[in-house]
Structure 1
């Protein structure tokens, strides 16, 4: 009977999916599940849904809800982290202030001014969680879902003794998209993917041993398919590989697509390309936040059941608990040199084998030079952002933002300096005390 603690359980839809995943496995259906959030109302609603799942399915799981993180961490075997530090105010600052300087972010949660400042306001809480875990559940595995994934995980690798892996659904979502573009069953695709979070690359894409990249290039020549994923198809056309994050995400990570309105408009379309406008995620997140506060979200609790989503977390826990071997793309330290031409202290997203022995990253070798170049630059931004957070280093923060590809393509160095200072002042209450 594993003890599984959910941090940020007030995010009810995501928590509900992860809970359903865990409870869908008979071997995990008697788990001791502990739900934690600082928002008592949202926490209570998640708890009611969780309890209904257990009752309706006749399971033996125990559900506990608490605002006391230390109580919930005591003796935990697994800790799932889905927290959001700060809420709307800093998020809006991280999008709208750069927008005034010409840095047009659609998402702002991974890299760029938005991702870097989100990391700085999140890392102190992550370190607090780590200190509690080192004391109360030192052998627990932390499964992190919170963005910016690579920066947060790197901070945990460098500053704590907590075993940490990062989980992201970008790979399975991309597999689903490719299957649709090729009109083939998703389960028949074989792939080998590696890089960094949100900038990992399909190094191999096959079906029954046949390379599918020629077919994918043929598919992108069809206008209706191209319009569904414009940026990723442009990256495939120019750099030879399909990337793991959606078009509106990827447009922020490179300097080519968001520096003038005409290009943004040209890259807009349907599907993954319909969220290209600036602040599209902020606006959607705000709307979803209001929906989460709607009492009707609980629906009819008598109808709540256990369903399994595509998320990795429960499958990973099940593999460790039962010894069932599986392979996932996970975010781990590159200390084993899984990717030989990325820094050994970077956080990389690579295939990992998971079973009763734990998580073991696979050896990928070298990425193609042109793909590694994107990831190395981002890894340098990650390094500086982590240094800024761990050492309260204001200059490292400035340099992280100045190295960001989209920001550098949009502003002069003096403008970036001024923008960064404005962001520090606006979000000072959420940041470490920078020197």
Structure 2
């Protein structure tokens, strides 16, 4: 029997699944391991298991692989639970958009912000809380590593349910790309190697709302933030405006930071929600099948890998080396002073077999005030979900700066709750 078992929820994901396999087989080379792959999509699940077996043959690393559409067997005895799940994400977002257009046409549906963000949060908290209940039943000592959005709200809800939860999102790393474009005039793609080699950067704040607090030239030690400020016009419009107002770069770009800020002329108004089309799904299934059947090389599967590295934390905590993270989401216990304890904050961290160690990160006055406001909205949404409370939900609507017309927004949210009644608990 393997000494370490990892349950991977959402293993059939075309980005998350291959990234986990790459971490296990090619990066961390974890051998004495049982990888329990979980997904409701049996076709994608079996193909991902086929890819895992192909990697085992080619690398000589042969963990036990099992597949599950019923999560209970996968959870039994697991030391780590990885979650990257959502329920009918495109369909449900379209339902939210329809209610918002009907009741609150001034609002822009986004992933985290406003009415759609609250609706999505309630659905995701309900889904992940049901998984969390089974974690407490079948593997109560397990460490849950979450990639599911809206990440800080899901993580805080599960943490308040008594689970040990770490959140992974590397969207703030896009700050490297924005700064490189502003200072060097070139576009960079993940993993942003040239910028990481040339610069030392320090991030801090909240998920999808983190600040570039330090940017220095590694060779000269020069502070690059003043020059970045002078070139702020090269940044996306809303990001540039915030930089001028707050004095620091807010990441990860206009399409995400708009989810937490009152609308201004620079706020993007599009409803783009990038989670793949049906045609893309079929193409990716065929790519998985070709790799599983030895008809294609496996390397192209990793061309668009996830930026998140939960396997690095699994390896470090289980005694297989160390890991460092420029941005890791953990419940605040003083690492981000001024933000309430228990709120999930995004700061640098390191890990080894003794545990996770955070670094204290201090936010300047205006970035701190904006993070405090954002954290307050998150806490109200989490309270509404956990207490099943209309009162808390109304407070969240009133506190959310993204919602311009509170009365229309409340009507739209009630429409969303009715539309998703089949997957939501009843509120009182």
Same fold (TM over 0.5): yes
- Aligned residue in 2 for 1:212: 224
Q: For the structure 1 residues 364 and 13, does the alpha-carbon distance in structure 2 shift closer, same or farther, using more than 3 Å as the test?
A: closer
Residue 316 (structure 1) aligns with: 313
Q: Hey, what does 2:383 align to over in structure 1? A: 387
Tell me, yes or no, if structure 1 residue 371 matches structure 2 residue 367. Answer: yes
DSSP 3-state at the match of 1:34? strand
| Structure 1 residues 103 and 189, CA gap change in structure 2 (3 angstroms) | farther
* Structure with more helix by fraction: 1
- Show the counterpart of 1:304: 298
Listed as ranges, the gaps of 5+ residues in structure 1 are 258-262, 268-275
Task: Give secondary structure in 2 for the equivalent of 1:350.
Answer: strand
Pick from 302, 323, 326: which aligns with 2:324? 326
| 1:45-60 equivalence runs, <5 A | 45-60=47-62
Distance change in 2, residues 1:103/1:356 (3 Å): farther
Do the aligned residues in 2 keep the contact of 1:9 with 1:46 (CA within 8 Å)?
Answer: yes
Alignment partner, residue 272 of structure 1: none
Q: How many residues align?
A: 405
Q: Distance in 1 between matches of 2:206 and 2:165?
A: 16
Question: In 2 relative to 1, CA 98–333 (structure 1 residues): closer, same or farther, beyond 3 Å?
Answer: same
SS of residue in 2 equivalent to 1:28: coil
- Residue 255 of structure 1 is matched in structure 2 by 262
Assess if the C-alpha contact under 8 Å between 1:312 and 1:328 holds in 2.
no
**What is the TM-score normalised by the length of structure 1?**
0.86
SS in 2 for 1:428: coil
Q: Which residue of 2 aligns with 1:83?
A: 85
Unaligned runs of 5+ in 2: 185-193
**CA RMSD in angstroms, aligned pairs only:** 2.3
Q: What residue is the counterpart of 1:133 in the other structure?
A: 135
Q: SS where residue 193 of structure 1 aligns?
A: strand
Residue of structure 2 equivalent to 1:285: 275
The equivalent residue for 1:193 is 203
**1:343-358 aligned within 5 A:** 343-358=340-355
Give the conservation status (yes or no) of the 8 Å contact 2:173–2:252: no
Equivalent residue, structure 2, for 1:270: none
* Greater shift in the superposed pair: 122-131 or 239-248: 122-131
1:398-413 paired onto structure 2 within 5 Å = 398-407=394-403, 410-411=404-405, 413=406
Determine the structure 2 residue equivalent to 1:66. 68
Aligned to 1:179: 180
How far 1:158 moved relative to its partner? 1.0
Alpha-carbon separation, structure 2, partners of 1:54 and 1:232: 44
Q: CA deviation at 1:358?
A: 1.4
Cα contact 2:176–2:195 (8 A) shared by 1: no
